[in-house]
Chain A
Amino acid sequence: MSAGGLTVGMQTAPAAKRGRKFSPMVYLIAVVVGLLVLSLVRVLAGATDLTSAGTVQAAITAAVPIAMAALAGLWSERAGVINIGLEGMMVLGTFGAGYAGYQWGPWAGVAFGLLLGIFGGLLHAVATVTFGVDHIISGVAINLLAPAAALFLSKLYFANAPGGGQKQSPRVEDAAKVSIPGLADVLGDLEAKHWFFVSDLAGILRGLLTEVSLLSILAVLLIIGTAYVLWKTPFGLRLRSCGEHPIAAESLGVNVYKYKYYAVIGSGAFAGLGGAFLAISSGQFRDGQTGGRGFIGLAAMIFGNWRPGGLATGAGLFGYTDALALRGSTAVHALLLLLGIALVVVAVIQYRAGHNVLSGVAAAIGVLFGWWYFTSDEVPPELVGAAPYVVTLLVLALAAQKLRIPKAIGEIYRRGEGK
């Protein structure tokens, strides 16, 4: 997958088997079944936090920066440019949000984070598209450069600001939060009853519909907007064609350099936004604040099979584990059971698809998680943080044949040198 990297072991996707289109009904049933399982686990484990409004709100707050990073990855990789510099671009975004945010309010912070992110994206585009530097290398360099620059600037601008420090900005005001009026009390009452399914649904709805930050709403709009732009417009088609077969795109008159520039700069913009959202929702810029979220975003994108809906699901899941880790050990412990059940479901699906070995592996790991659940009382908090990464590795290992990576990803394209 890396530039001109080894192709050994790569699975070639079976040629053009039309993907089954699931009807909305199937999705709805899946969601309901998922909720039922969740409520069941909640009752069995006595972990009310699994579906409480507080957890859902915390999950959204955690998921939004991850989703933005994933979206950033999507833009870039769909045009064939690997961007592991996401982490660095996010750092730039957090600094921008801290700098403008404490002086002129959260929305100025968002704008400034976006701008600095664009700068990071531009750097990556110049290196990879214009100069044809290996994508991974440029990304690593940006990840080295950006935190250093942010810390340098932080010492310069925040050290003497009121309430700031060498490694952190003064407080940034949070963006406004909105609720659908009249829902909070009704749902809150229902949630407090702890009825099977009904209270769970109420808790989740209360988390989703009340006290929602405008930033989260913006994030959802951006995901939908990306899906529209990349899949429903000529611009999006051309951009994606650069990631699948740039030489074919060139022969059809697409200016591949231009589209790659758009994509990578857009990628930087989203990463910057992700950083800005992170800084604003946690109230300030801090050195090391991103804590690998750029990489988790990349993981969410892979988990979501390079698609907007998928990456949103991935970001939601990872945000949810983050939130559970914050809520305490019972909730996290219940997560083991959930994971076990999920893996057994994967095993059944794989078995039906005829992948017996994979099915066996998934089932075995699933049973292990179940065994862990029943023989222990809590999960060490240090291990919870590793969950998104482990899940991503499992997805890659177990579902690799279902993943559709942009075909020309990581390749260095030079105009007029196509063969």
Chain B
Amino acid sequence: MKRLTPRALLLGLAAPLGALVFAAGLCAVILLVTSHSPADTVDAMSTAAQRPRTLVNSLNTATTYYLAAVAVAVGFKMKLFNIGVDGQYRLAAMLSATLAGAAFMEGLPSFLRITMTIVAAMLVGAAWSGLAALLKVTRGVSEVISTIMLNAIATYLVSYLLNPARLAENVPGSNNISTRPINEGGQVTGITVEGSSSKIFGLLFLALAVGFLYWFVLSRTRFGFELKATGLSESAAVASGVSVKKMVVLSMLISGAIAGLVGMPQLLGSSYSYALDFPAGIGFTGIAVALLGRNHPVGMAVAALLWGFLDNTANSLDVAGIPREIVLIMQGVIVLSVVIAYELVRRYRVAAEQREVGRALGRTKALEEVSA
């Protein structure tokens, strides 16, 4: 275990904080150049932040992002890029929404219904990521390429299934199309907050449990050890008897199963059906959050909260006449600059270590010379 000296802590925080400050600075410059006022922007966002509803929504968005980040992080830990979280969660949400809304489910007890929905989502997510795992271990196909392709295929598959002739129906009074709505027995009740019309997702606790399990499995089990070992050095892992193929399949399946959960808080806690306007692109946000949080269970939670907060306060910007995309730009800049900052800090650490070793060696040498 690394010792947590103030210096190490400072270096650890330097990268994310530096990236944040840099991104904020850059966005301020962009705003100034395009003749908007950065002060007004901050003002609008902080006014929005004082509304309980914004905070509740931020927490809810963060719940979703956190699940996506953990799904990505499981792969990252063994140098496996599951770019496919996006396709996995959309397909999983769509199919499990169909199951949850089906007529025969309405007679079942609530707990069983919800469990079945969630398990179905996990299975679909795992199956979709399993395809990529299969291609990787049998044919050596890079998971990056195969999951990019599978994302696109999932998009078309969902739009094929989400059709009144197949699994969906028209939403009365709009041109939206959705799966059959889940009635009350299949929903997860939220937590009411005073002063806010939206409730905190009940499945927030699911996300917390997933985060805890992620931490526990990675740092307290043999499987987690082997997973990290494979990520750090494949050849060393093979030498110590780890079956890398098995690890690839297992971690892809786990990652896909967690990806399947991503849509659940939204589906069971607020929209109750999968429609054309179901949130998309969360898989990529998950990558960003995992990077910012360095795959650490708590780090990712902080990053997810930040992302959720930025997303929800951005809604207030359009009213103030500032394009809300400035927040998206800020998020993009944060991701890019945080990875660069981590790299710079790493290089600084290596250089500092080398200097220290050099100094220590120099001292011994000097002592030897004196004694000689």
Asked if B159 is an interface residue, CB under 8 A from chain A, the answer is: yes
Is the contact region of chain B dominated by helix, strand, or loop, or is it mixed? helix
Residue A187 interfacial (CB < 8 Å): no
Known: A141-B332, A396-B146. A6 touches B339 (CB 8 A): no
A407 proximal to B (CB < 8 A): no
Which residues of A sit under 8 angstroms from B126, Cβ to Cβ? Answer: none
Question: How would residues 1 to 19 of chain A score, 1 for a CB under 8 Å from any chain B CB and 0 otherwise?
Answer: 1101111111100000000
Most buried by A among B143, B144, B159, B333: B144
The answer on a CB contact under 8 Å between B145 and A302 is: yes
Q: What's the nearest-Cβ distance from chain A to residue B285, in Å?
A: 8
A396, B135: Cβ atoms closer than 8 Å: yes
A residues within 8 Å of B by Cβ?
A: 1-2, 4-11, 82, 84, 123, 127, 131-134, 136-138, 140-149, 151-152, 155-156, 292, 295-296, 298-299, 302, 380, 382-383, 385-386, 389-390, 392-393, 396-397, 400
**Contact of B234 with A386 in the complex, beta carbons under 8 Å:** no
- A9 near B333 (CB under 8 angstroms)? no
Q: A1-B145, A144-B331, A298-B148 are in contact. Are A9 and B81 (CB under 8 A)?
A: no
Given contacts A1-B142, A2-B81, A393-B135, contact A84 B160 (CB under 8 A): no
- Asked whether A155 and B323 contact (CB < 8 A) given A8-B245, A133-B343, A148-B332, the answer is yes
CB-CB nearest 3 A-B residue pairs: A145-B332, A148-B328, A1-B142
Is the pair A8, B325 in contact by a Cβ cutoff of 8 Å? no
- Could you tell me if B156 and A6 are in contact, using CB atoms closer than 8 angstroms? no
Contact yes or no, B139 A400, CB < 8 A: yes
Q: How far is the CA of A196 from the CA of B145 in the complex (A)?
A: 40
CB nearest neighbor in B for A166:
B323
Most chain B beta-carbon contacts within 10 A, residue among A298, A380, A389: A389
Contacting pair B80 A6 (CB below 8 A)? yes
**Smallest CB–CB gap between A399 and chain B, Å?**
10
Contact A136 B144, CB 8 Å, known A8-B136, A292-B152, A400-B139: yes
User: Does B100 count as interface, using CB distance less than 8 angstroms?
Assistant: no
What is the distance, in angstroms, from A87's C-beta to the closest C-beta of chain B?
A: 10
Q: Are B149 and A144 in contact (CB under 8 A)?
A: no
Pairwise interchain contact B340-A133, C-beta atoms closer than 8 A? yes
- Least Cβ–Cβ distance between A374 and chain B, in angstroms: 21
List residues of chain A with CB within 8 A of the CB of B159.
382
Give the complex CA separation of A132 and B142 in angstroms. Answer: 21
Q: How far is the CB of B136 from chain A (nearest CB, A)?
A: 5
Known: A5-B79, A151-B323. A140 touches B287 (CB 8 A): yes
- 8 Å CB contact of B153 from A151, A152, A386: A386
Check: B17 CB closer than 8 A to any chain A CB: no
B167 at the interface (CB under 8 A from A): no
B140, B157, B323: residue with the most chain A Cβ atoms closer than 10 Å: B140
Residues in A with CB closer than 8 Å to B11 are: none
Report how far A296 CA is from B152 CA in the complex, Å. Answer: 9
Contacts of B155 in A (CB 8 A): 292, 386
Q: Can you give 7 contacting A-B residue pairs, CB < 8 Å?
A: A2-B142, A123-B336, A140-B288, A141-B336, A389-B156, A393-B135, A393-B141
B332 touches A144 (CB 8 A): yes
- Is there an interface contact between A6 and B83, defined as CB atoms closer than 8 Å? no
Residues of the A chain whose Cβ atoms lie less than 8 Å from the Cβ of B80: 5-6
Contact B145 A386 (CB under 8 A): no
- Give every chain B residue within 8 A of A144 (Cβ-Cβ): 284, 288, 328, 331-332, 335
CB of A298 within 8 A of CB of B137, answer no
Q: Is B174 an interface residue (CB 8 A)?
A: no
Residues B138 and A9 in contact, CB atoms below 8 Å apart: yes
A131 touches B343 (CB 8 A): yes
In the complex, the chain A residue whose C-beta lies closest to that of B30 is: A152
Rounded to whole angstroms, the CA-CA distance of A78 and B160 in the bound complex is 37
How far does the alpha carbon of A134 sit from the alpha carbon of B287 in the complex, in Å?
13
Interface bits B106-119 vs A (CB < 8 Å: 1, else 0): 00000000000000
CB–CB A382/B160 < 8 A: yes
Confirm or deny: B200 has a beta carbon within 8 angstroms of a beta carbon on chain A.
no
B64 at the interface (CB under 8 A from A): no
Q: Which residues of chain B in 76-112 are interfacial with respect to chain A, using CB atoms and an 8 Å cutoff?
A: 78-81, 83
Question: Contacts A6-B234, A140-B83 hold; do A127 and B339 have CB atoms under 8 A apart?
Answer: yes
A2 touches B141 (CB 8 A): no
A292 / chain B contacts, CB cutoff of 8 Å? 152, 155
B149 touches A393 (CB 8 A): yes
B residues less than 8 Å from A380 (CB atoms): 160, 163
Known: A84-B144, A141-B332. A127 touches B340 (CB 8 A): yes
Contact A151 B325 (CB under 8 A): yes
Contacts of A302 in B (CB 8 A): 145
Residue of B with least CB distance to A145: B332
Q: Which residue of B lies closest to A295 (CB)?
A: B148
Given A144-B328, A148-B332, A152-B326, are A131 and B156 also a contact pair (CB < 8 Å)? no
Q: How far is the CA of A289 from the CA of B148 in the complex (A)?
A: 18
Residue of A nearest to B248 (CB): A8
* Complexed CA–CA distance, A191 and B145 (Å): 40
B339 touching A8, Cβ below 8 Å? no
Whether B261 sits at the interface, judged by CB under 8 Å, is no
